[in-house]
């Protein structure tokens, strides 16, 4: 029961903290009156004219598709064949005499 109360208290604190942060953000950014000394981009007549001119142009259409490029896929084993060893290394290691024991599985409990 005590753990449930702790988890609930943490959730309440988290929600309260985030609510105050969101409230502060709204107060700082949304409800701030506009600064009359700075120009407003929405009332700029040049921006409207430029936007209308850009949107009036139609993008140029491509007359022909891009040419086909026949690209060869390289052989991934080509470089190791080229760089490979001239003589294979001699396997002089004796075979392992000790084989790890096989695990013994217990019988399932009934």
How confident is the model over 91-106, as pLDDT tens digits? Answer: 777 777 777 778 888 7
Task: Determine contact, residues 66/60, Cβ cutoff 8 Å.
Answer: no
pLDDT tens-place string over residues 52-62: 898 898 878 87
Q: Which residue has the tokens 């709204």?
A: 26
* Residue 42 is assigned to a structural domain of this protein: no
Q: Tell me the pLDDT band of 11, cut-offs 50, 70 and 90.
A: confident
pLDDT of amino acid 19: 61
Residue 12 lies in a domain: yes
Does residue 13 lie within any of the structural domains? yes
Residue 40: CB partners within 8 Å, gap ≥ 6?
A: 34
**Position 81 in a domain:** no
The total of structural domains in the chain comes to 1
Whether residue 42 has pLDDT greater than 70: no
The arithmetic mean of pLDDT across residues 17-38, rounded, is: 65
**15 has pLDDT over 80:** no
pLDDT range class, residue 22, cuts 50, 70, 90 = low
Q: Does residue 83 lie within any of the structural domains?
A: no
Binning pLDDT at 50, 70 and 90, where does residue 13 land?
Answer: confident
Decide: 27 and 33 in contact? Cβ < 8 Å.
Answer: no
Q: How far apart are CA 75 and CA 102, in angstroms?
A: 42
- CA–CA–CA angle 32, 38, 39 (5° rounding): 115
Q: Is residue 68 part of a domain?
A: no
Backbone angles phi, psi at 2, to 5 degrees: -65, -35
Q: Could you tell me the residue range of the domain that residue 4 belongs to? A: 1-32
pLDDT at 81 (0 to 100): 64
């Amino acid at each position: 029961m005590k753990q449930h109360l702790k988890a609930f208290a943490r959730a309440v604190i988290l929600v309260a903290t985030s609510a105050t942060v969101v409230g502060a953000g709204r107060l700082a950014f949304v409800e701030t009156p506009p600064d009359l000394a700075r120009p407003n981009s929405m009332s700029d007549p040049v921006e409207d004219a430029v936007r209308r001119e850009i949107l009036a142009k139609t993008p140029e259409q491509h007359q022909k598709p891009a040419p086909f490029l026949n690209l060869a896929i390289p052989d991934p084993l080509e470089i190791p064949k080229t760089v490979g060893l001239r003589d294979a290394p001699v396997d002089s290691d004796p075979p392992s005499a000790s084989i790890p024991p096989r695990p013994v599985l217990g019988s399932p409990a009934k």
